[in-house]
């Protein structure tokens, strides 16, 4: 017999950065829980593929192109969701890009690129969602951060400017939680450790170009970062925590960063 069931039937959810990776799977999970999901990502074709998968499985979804670094585009997606469904219950700020260039060598252009998506993109999602959700007197906002936002590592290239943006995301989570508190809007962040998405494939590609064995390198990364023996996290592992934070069971949780990282961020 089950106990806690997550039912989001009748709710409207918007997921930024949902064309692939963690965001795509979280969108599928939200739809399975009954929500109408608005997918928004840089590449519309990817969102359409996720939308088709959701609808084939009996869920409800809509897809649009959106660059989160442009606040107008973020606002338009939220507006469309609200106009079509008459509500806005859940916003997931998941869009993010990596930055693997070592700290000292990273160009101004590259630093600005990672700031504009990871930091400004989240800022835009938080500001627009709070402005729109206030009138309903309830809402759940979840942002994807990273264990890299908690501390840098003394070996390899470290997390550099990527970690810097995720530390900013952690801070914004608190600020937005205080801003939303009077309106019963919960704002939290989930920090994955390692999930084998395009982001990691790109890192492995770079290592492979340096003559390293791809599978061996992947194993080494897991051992280096993740204390828990089961290793890397699945896309679903991250989604379970996000769904929990979007559910009634998390009504008393706000301003928190919760790491789903196999212990990677543990001091
Ligand atoms: N994969 C990991 O190990 C890991 C670990 C910690 C944190 N994260 C975080 O998880 C989130 C998702 O990453 P992922 O691993 O699934 O990556 P991914 O590259 O597989 O997917 C990222 C998604 O975000 C979209 N996106 C990127 N820039 C965007 C922009 N400017 N506007 C709109 N959409 C944009 C992409 O199009 C894609 O759909 C990111 O915030 C990332 O920093 C990932």
Q: Are 157 and 181 in contact (CB under 8 A)?
A: no
Q: In degrees to the nearest 10, what's the CA dihedral of 101, 15, 239, 36?
A: -170
Q: In degrees to the nearest 10, what's the CA dihedral of 114, 147, 181, 183?
A: 60
pLDDT band at 2 (very low <50, low <70, confident <90, very high): confident
Asked whether 160 lines ligand 1 (CB < 6 A), one says no
> Are residue 85 and residue 201 in the same domain, yes or no?
no
- 191-200 pLDDT tens trace: 999 999 998 9
- Domain assignment present for residue 152? The answer is yes
Q: Are 230 and 262 in contact (CB under 8 A)?
A: yes
- Domain assignment present for residue 161? The answer is yes
- 70-99 pLDDT tens trace: 999 999 999 999 999 999 999 999 999 999
Q: What is the CATH number of the domain that holds 187?
A: 3.40.50.720
**pTM passes above 0.75:** yes
Q: Which atom of ligand 1 is nearest to the CA of 194?
A: 3
Mean pLDDT of the chain: 96
> Are residue 132 and residue 228 in the same domain, yes or no?
no
Taking alpha carbons only, the member of 116, 120, 91, 111 closest to residue 189 is 91
pLDDT band at 259 (very low <50, low <70, confident <90, very high): very high
> Are residue 35 and residue 136 in the same domain, yes or no?
yes
Asked whether 67 lines ligand 1 (CB < 6 A), one says yes
Report how far ligand 1's centroid is from the alpha carbon of 67 (Å). 12
Domain span including residue 249:
12-193+235-259
> Are residue 66 and residue 106 in the same domain, yes or no?
yes
CA angle 66/80/131 to nearest 5° reads: 85
> Are residue 180 and residue 68 in the same domain, yes or no?
yes
> Are residue 242 and residue 210 in the same domain, yes or no?
no
> Are residue 100 and residue 148 in the same domain, yes or no?
yes
Region 155-168 average pLDDT: 91
- Domain assignment present for residue 137? The answer is yes
> Are residue 46 and residue 82 in the same domain, yes or no?
yes
**63: phi then psi, degrees, rounded to nearest 5:** -130, 145
> Are residue 41 and residue 95 in the same domain, yes or no?
yes
- Domain assignment present for residue 6? The answer is no
> Are residue 20 and residue 68 in the same domain, yes or no?
yes
> Are residue 148 and residue 214 in the same domain, yes or no?
no
> Are residue 101 and residue 26 in the same domain, yes or no?
yes
CA–CA distance, 108 with 236 (Å, rounded to integer): 35
Region 50-59 average pLDDT: 98
Q: How many domains does the chain have?
A: 2
CA–CA distance, 187 with 249 (Å, rounded to integer): 14
Report how far ligand 1's centroid is from the alpha carbon of 3 (Å). 32
- 214-237 pLDDT tens trace: 999 999 999 989 999 999 999 999
- Domain assignment present for residue 3? The answer is no
Q: What is the maximum alpha-carbon separation in the chain? A: 56
Region 132-151 average pLDDT: 97
Question: Burial code of 126-165, b = ≥16 C-beta within 10 A, e = fewer?
Answer: bbbbbebbeeeeebbbbbbbbbbbbeeeeeebebbbbbbb
């Amino acid at each position: 017999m089950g106990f806690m069931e997550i039912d989001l039937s009748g709710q409207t959810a918007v997921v930024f950065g949902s064309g692939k990776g963690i965001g795509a799977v979280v969108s599928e999970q939200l739809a399975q829980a009954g929500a109408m999901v608005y997918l928004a990502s840089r590449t519309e074709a990817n969102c359409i593929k996720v939308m088709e998968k959701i609808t084939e499985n009996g869920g409800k979804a809509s897809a649009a192109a959106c660059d989160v670094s442009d606040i107008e585009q973020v606002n338009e997606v939220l507006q469309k969701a609200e106009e079509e469904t008459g509500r806005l219950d859940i916003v997931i700020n998941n869009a993010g890009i990596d930055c693997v260039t070592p700290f000292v060598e990273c160009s101004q252009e590259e630093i600005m690129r990672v700031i504009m998506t990871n930091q400004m993109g989240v800022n835009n999602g938080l500001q627009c969602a709070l402005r729109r959700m206030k009138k309903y007197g309830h809402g759940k906002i979840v942002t994807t951060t990273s264990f890299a936002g908690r501390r840098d590592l003394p070996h390899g290239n470290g997390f550099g400017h990527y970690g810097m943006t995720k530390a900013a995301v952690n801070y914004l989570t608190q600020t937005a939680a205080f801003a939303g508190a009077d309106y019963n809007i919960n704002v939290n962040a989930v920090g994955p450790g390692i999930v084998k998405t395009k982001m990691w494939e790109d890192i492995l590609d770079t290592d492979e170009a340096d003559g390293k064995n791809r599978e061996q390198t992947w194993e080494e990364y897991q051992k280096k970062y993740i204390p828990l023996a089961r290793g890397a996290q699945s896309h679903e592992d991250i989604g379970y925590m996000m769904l929990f934070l979007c559910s009634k069971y998390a009504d008393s949780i706000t301003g928190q960063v919760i790491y789903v990282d196999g212990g990677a961020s543990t001091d």
